Amino acid sequence: MANPAQLALYPNRGLTFARGDGAYLFTRDGTRYLDLMTNYGVNLLGHSHPAIVAALTEQVATLATVHGSFGSDVRARASIALAERLPIRDASICWLNSGAEAVEAALKFAVAATGRRRFVACTGGYHGKTIGALAVTHAGKYRALVRDLLFPVTHVEFGSGPAADAAMDHDTAAVIVEPIQGESGVVVPPEGYLRELREACSARGVLLIVDEVQTGCGRTGTFTVSEREAVEPDILCLGKGLAGGVPVGVTAVRPGIAERLGKGLHTSTFGGNPLAAAGVLATLSLLTPELMSKAERLGTELMANLAAAGARSIAEVRGRGLMIGVAVRGERDRILKGLQEQRILAIPAGDDVIRFLPAMIVEREQLNEVIPALDRVPGS
């Protein structure tokens, strides 16, 4: 139904979905769409996964939310289980409600821990649309309205360790980076880049914040890209699919930072609510090494097939695991619309990229529908 009571802040793709099942979304009349966007990566394990439905149903019938000033056994279990999966040894976790909130907390924690206020971020970086996160987001179209309210930030070339090193000074609190840039076009940096940043930050006494809101939770083949690169961040941000579709955000910090963060510095009414914590526990139980390895294998196969297909519309294919960007020739939005008309859902990134973020439960046969669909888009 039309929704005149909602602000028109989103593009209208002309579809209304009533339910989801596995890798598919369904409209009210039952028309089925292959969901290769998963709500910008949130439905990591597809729609209505029985284990997640069971965990959330049991929890909402018991206790859905309780303030962080009170204990919660399910929150405690989720904290311990997540900390065991992180690349930060003995991490302490701040529970929030979104990736942007996780970035907000990370910036605040860096300032509190160092006493400095300046940041180094990357061209092409995207960290959210809240005011603090906009400080380190690069695109001017997002930053212009609030420019005077932001932390001082120097943006340097993504993928260049020397550029980041040269931008640090005595007032730099932290460098913030996505291991793979999502919003700007699924941009993969050179091998060893994250390690270069880690070494430069350590040498200069600057914190390293790694934003794994999109890359985290197994999508690229390991639980985090930091783990894959054998890099230990000072602060790590997670969100999106971590709670099985329930809103969640996490800012994890290493020992030494945790001790400098006083009570009340950053809290959230809903952060770490038992419902989200139950979703986190269910999701972590499903993110086995075998499932993450399968995600990397299927994504690698799809990228190779796309690159070899020779479709006139494909200029470049890049990504890792099930985080895939296809740079296209011609009008990107027309191709997205053409895929949607063939009941395949993808999302835009950058100026000319179609982004695929399939659920990790997707099957090879479903991914194999992409290339024929691209070939059928008029003019491609």
Asked if pLDDT for residue 299 goes beyond 70, the answer is yes
**What is the pLDDT, as a whole number, of residue 130?**
85
Could you tell me if 179 and 127 are in contact, meaning their C-beta atoms sit under 8 angstroms apart?
no
Task: Please give the DSSP secondary-structure letter assigned to residue 146.
Answer: G
Q: Is 293 exposed, middle or buried (0-12, 13-18, 19+ CB in 10 A)?
A: middle
Q: Which two tokens stand for residue 84?
A: 């065991």
User: If you classify domain 52-286 with CATH, what class do you get?
Assistant: alpha beta
Q: What is the 3-state secondary structure (H, E, C) of 20-61?
A: EEECEEEECCCCEEEECCHHHHCCCCCECCHHHHHHHHHHHC
Q: Buried b / exposed e across 146-162, counting CB within 10 Å, b at 16+?
A: eeeebbebbbbebbbbe
Task: Please state which architecture CATH assigns to domain 17-49+288-376.
Answer: Alpha-Beta Complex (3.90)
Gyration radius of the chain over CA positions: 20
**274-286 and 73-83 helices cross at what angle (nearest 10)?**
40
d(CA 242, CA 282): 9
Q: Is 95 helix (H, G, I), strand (E, B) or coil?
A: strand
Asked if pLDDT for residue 319 goes beyond 90, the answer is yes
> What pTM, to 2 d.p., does this model score?
0.95
**What is the pLDDT, as a whole number, of residue 135?**
75
**What is the pLDDT, as a whole number, of residue 378?**
80
More confident residue, 265 or 379: 265
What are 237-271's pLDDT values in tens digits? 999 999 999 999 999 999 999 999 999 999 999 99
What are 16-40's pLDDT values in tens digits? 999 999 999 999 999 999 999 999 9
DSSP per residue over 159-213, as a string? T-HHHHHHH--TTEEEEEE-SSBSTTT-BPPPTTHHHHHHHHHHHHT-EEEEE-T
Asked if pLDDT for residue 146 goes beyond 70, the answer is no
Q: Is 141 exposed, middle or buried (0-12, 13-18, 19+ CB in 10 A)?
A: exposed
Asked if pLDDT for residue 226 goes beyond 70, the answer is yes
d(CA 143, CA 73): 40
Contacting residues for 123 by C-beta, under 8 A, at least 6 apart: 138, 155, 156, 157, 158
Please count the other Cβ atoms lying within 10 Å of the Cβ belonging to residue 362: 23
Could you tell me if 173 and 116 are in contact, meaning their C-beta atoms sit under 8 angstroms apart?
yes
DSSP per residue over 312-347, as a string? TTEEEEEEETTEEEEEESS-HHHHHHHHHHTTEE-E
Q: Is 110 exposed, middle or buried (0-12, 13-18, 19+ CB in 10 A)?
A: buried
Q: What percent of the chain has pLDDT over 90?
A: 89
Residues of the chain with CATH 3.90.1150.10: 17-49+288-376
CA dihedral in degrees (204, 171, 92, 292; nearest 10)?
-60
Residues of the chain with CATH 3.40.640.10: 52-286
What are 184-196's pLDDT values in tens digits? 999 999 999 999 9
Q: Is 281 exposed, middle or buried (0-12, 13-18, 19+ CB in 10 A)?
A: buried
Could you tell me if 224 and 86 are in contact, meaning their C-beta atoms sit under 8 angstroms apart?
yes
Residue with tokens 């809103």: 247
**What is the pLDDT, as a whole number, of residue 138?**
81
- What is the arithmetic mean of pLDDT over 173-183? 97
